[in-house]
Amino acid sequence: MTVPRSVTVRVPAKVNVQLAVGAARADGFHDLANVFLAVGLYDEVTATPADALRITCEGPGADQVPLDRTNLAARAAEALAARHGRRADVHLHIAKDIPVAGGMAGGSADAAGALLACDALWGTGTTCAELLDLCAELGSDVPFSLVGGAALGTGRGERLTELAVGGTFHWVFAVADGGLSTPAVYREFDRLTPDAPAPEASEPLLAALRTGDATALAATLANDLQPAALSLFPSLADTLATGTAAGALAALVSGSGPTTAFLTKDAEAAAHVAETLRTSGTCRTARVAEAPAPGATVLGPRA
């Protein structure tokens, strides 16, 4: 067998088209009905043999990404190595394109990418079920980064049921100046929502995904963390209003924010909303992306 010299994996960002949040559990997490949709903004993780675990990172926001063992990709490599009783002697290079600390699961994408890349590099032949277990140990969003497409996440978001999507959705993402801490947003949710009901997936929203109907999806988008994100980052209201005035079908905070997401009717409308946002002064930049996108994908071992 030829041992590959490096393996590159591409992993998508996500937007939560429905994020229903229940009350805090005894373990501090929240039960969710989390409808994930993978979007076509990608990080790439390249694994290369090395004497010891090493992380490097390039791209927008790379200076905010830790290069030590707190990096989720490093933790993923160590978890896979431990599972197979070997050393995590690998250099992981992360080419970032997913906004950092933006509520689009960038760190989770890198963890899923590192798992898949190391598995291919080391020839450890880990089953999909084992990879999903490792993902769930690393973080609530990580299993979805591995599978992509669309899925309903229950529990703390890690238990996935695949969802059918009947068309292509055109999104714009406004990247904010600054980040939000996910635990801080959940804490603010607890403060604002003392009696959160049990979370349930919305049937009309699942139907809109199934039929690929953007107008119907726009009418059902919902994020229970949005009031908390707006409370901690009030200027996001101006970004949401700007994208809506530019013709978006709907606008919402992406996950825990502060990235904001705009659903549009087609690629032309998306380009217009993105350009309006870019010149509005209400965000740092705006990106267009289509959904659904595939999950973590090996781009090919380079022998």
Ligand X SMILES: C[C@](O)(CO)[C@H](O)COP(=O)(O)OP(=O)(O)OC[C@H]1O[C@@H](n2ccc(N)nc2=O)[C@H](O)[C@@H]1O
Ligand Y SMILES: Nc1ncnc2c1ncn2[C@@H]1O[C@H](COP(=O)(O)OP(=O)(O)OP(=O)(O)O)[C@@H](O)[C@H]1O
The residues assigned a catalytic role are 14, 141
Kindly state the number of chain residues that form the binding site for ligand Y, as judged by CB under 6 A.
22
Question: Which residues fall within 8 angstroms of residue 17, CB to CB, at 6 or more apart?
Answer: 35, 36, 37, 205, 209, 217, 220, 221
| Distance from chain centroid for Cα 165 | 18
**Binding pattern for the stretch 88-107 against ligand X, x by CB under 6 A and - elsewhere:** -----------------x--
Q: 231-270 mask for ligand Y (x: CB under 6 A)? A: ------------------------xx--------------
Going 6 to 8 to 9 to 11, the CA torsion angle's sign is: positive
105 is annotated as contributing to ligand binding: yes
Nearer to ligand Y, 101 or 132 (CB): 101
Residue 230 identity: L
Burial annotation 244-282 (CB, 10 A radius, 16+ → b, else e): eebebbbbbbbbbbbbbbbbbeeeebbeebbebbbebeb
Strand 30-49 vs strand 150-154: parallel, antiparallel, or unpaired?
antiparallel
243 binds ligand X (CB under 6 A): no
Partner touching 243 among ligand X, ligand Y, none, CB below 5 to 8 Å by kind = none
Is 101 part of any known ligand binding site?
yes
The single residue among 101, 116, 291, 296 that binds ligand Y, judged by CB under 6 A, is 101
State which of residues 6, 8, 34, 71 lies at the interface with ligand Y (CB under 6 A): 71
Beta bridge partners of 19: 34, 223
Rounded Cα distance, 69 and 17, in Å: 32
Cα dihedral 94, 100, 102, 103 sign: positive
Q: Which is nearer to ligand Y, 73 or 250 (CB)?
A: 73
Residue 178 interaction partner, one of ligand Y, ligand X, none, beta carbon < 5-8 Å per kind: none
- The answer to whether the annotation marks 157 as part of a ligand binding site is no
> Is there binding between residue 157 and ligand X (CB under 6 A)?
yes
What CA–CA distance (Å, rounded) separates 176 from 37? 20
The residue from 19, 39, 100, 118 that contacts ligand X (CB under 6 A) is 19
Interaction between residue 182 and ligand Y (CB under 6 A)? yes
Binding residue for ligand Y, selected from 110, 119, 188, 224, defined by CB under 6 A = 110
Q: Which residues within the stretch 22-41 sit at the binding site for ligand X (CB under 6 A)?
A: 28-30, 32, 34
| Distance (Å, whole) CA 300 – CA 9 | 8
Considering the complex, state which of residue 226 and residue 256 has its C-beta at the smaller distance from ligand Y: 256
C-alpha 127/C-alpha 132 separation (Å) is: 9
243 is in an annotated binding site: no
Q: Residue 12: count other Cβ atoms within 10 Å of its Cβ.
A: 29
- Residue 104 assigned to a binding site: yes
CB 267 within 8 A of CB 232: no
CA 54 to centroid of chain Cα atoms: 24
Q: How far is the CB of 301 from ligand Y (least distance, A)?
A: 22
Based on the shown chain and the rule CB under 6 A, indicate whether residue 71 belongs to the binding site for ligand X: no
Indicate the residue type of 68: D
Q: Please, which residue, 105 or 175, has the CB nearer to ligand X?
A: 105
The span from the CA of 118 to the CA of 88, in Å, is 9
From 106-114, 122-130, 146-154, 245-253, span contacting ligand Y (CB under 6 A): 106-114
Residue 166, annotated ligand binder?
no
Q: Is 232 in the site for ligand X (CB under 6 A)?
A: no
Among 140, 226, 264, 282, interactor with ligand X by CB under 6 A: 140
Interface positions with ligand Y (CB under 6 A):
64-66, 71-73, 94, 100-108, 110, 141, 179, 182, 255-256
